[in-house]
Chain A
Amino acid sequence: MDNQTPTPDDKFSARRRLLRGSFSVPAVLTLASGSALAAKSATCLAKATNQSSTEELTTSPTADTFMRVQLMARLPSNPGGNLRYLVTRASFGLIPVSTSFWPTGTVWWRFNINTNKLIDPNGQRTTPVPVDAQLVNYWVALRFNSAGEIIGVGKSGAGSVVGQSCWNSINLSP
């Protein structure tokens, strides 16, 4: 199809094929750039999620290389009480989340930093994130299935932790 190069011998070959049959709907199928890399990376995701695994909370975003989200916390309701921690749906960004783990409409979920688990079932909230909630110095590891969906955080849910580099390599879109 290059107008600047000699016409190949198969000129009109597609049209010749049409003469042999009916004309179906034309199809343009997009390929991801670096699809070979994606295939290799899909293997990395499959390996990473082959066995259930999790990681403890960290107090530094650079403590390890696993996919994590930052917790938020609210001031205690009673003077002298403890901070109340939470995970927000917004913290997952554009990463797909399984609705079997995180129901549609759930905006935030209370989190127990001692057990590394969501406070279930009473901690689930569909109301806006409280205005007094602030990001704190705790990062909880996400757990994924082989399709790349979040199906757990910390020790809640199922799935496996996935390395940042593996995730970056499968997530080719900007």
Chain B
Amino acid sequence: MRTPFGVRMTELDDLWGAFSPLTGQTVLLNTEAVAILEVLREQPGDLAQVCQTLAMDTTLDATELMERCAHAWQQLLDSGLVEPAQA
């Protein structure tokens, strides 16, 4: 999985606005969701790989992070901010 070409991000105080060229929509993200996209920008991968990377930034382990991120991961897919890497 990866962040698609053309995704635009802008910081809005505590939140971030993210435009997806795949859906033509803008969504609001919190810092944790943007961190997921930042990891994917550097290295495409699945949720487990992303959480392993994020675990190095936080006090949580990768398993717990996966539980916390699973729902948002699907939302990021649905909103076109994450796509299959081969797409």
| Secondary structure class of chain B's binding surface, majority of residues | mixed
Number of A-B contacts (CB under 8 A): 102
Q: Identify the stretch in A1-9, A60-68, A125-133, A139-147 within 8 Å (CB) of chain B at 4 or more residues.
A: A1-9
Instruction: Write out, one digit per residue, whether chain B residues 32-69 have a CB within 8 A of any chain A CB (1) or not (0).
Output: 11111111010000000000001001111000010011
Bound form: Cα–Cα A10–B54 in Å: 18
Which one, A20-28, A100-108, A111-119, A148-156, is touching chain B? Answer: A20-28
A77 is an interface residue with CB less than 8 A from chain B: no
A-B contact pairs, 14 of them (CB 8 A): A1-B7, A1-B38, A3-B3, A12-B38, A15-B57, A17-B31, A23-B32, A25-B69, A26-B30, A26-B33, A27-B28, A27-B32, A29-B28, A30-B79
Q: A12: nearest residue on chain B (CB-CB)? A: B38
Residues of B within 8 A of A10 (CB): 11
Query: A47–B5 Cα gap in the complex (Å)?
Result: 43
The total of chain A residues at the interface (CB under 8 A) is 24
Q: Are A31 and B28 in contact (CB under 8 A)?
A: yes
Interface residues of chain A, those whose CB is within 8 Å of chain B, are 1-4, 10-15, 17-19, 22-31, 33
A44 and B19 CA atoms in complex are apart in Å by 28
B67: nearest residue on chain A (CB-CB)? A25
Residue pair A28, B27 in contact (C-beta under 8 Å): yes
Q: Which residues of B contact A23 (CB under 8 A)?
A: 32, 54, 57-60, 65, 68
A13 adjacent to B58 (CB under 8 Å): no
Residues of A within 8 A of B22 (CB): none
* A residues near B41, Cβ cutoff 8 Å: 1, 3
Q: A10-B11, A18-B57, A26-B72 are in contact. Are A31 and B30 (CB under 8 A)?
A: no
Contact A29 B29 (CB under 8 A): yes
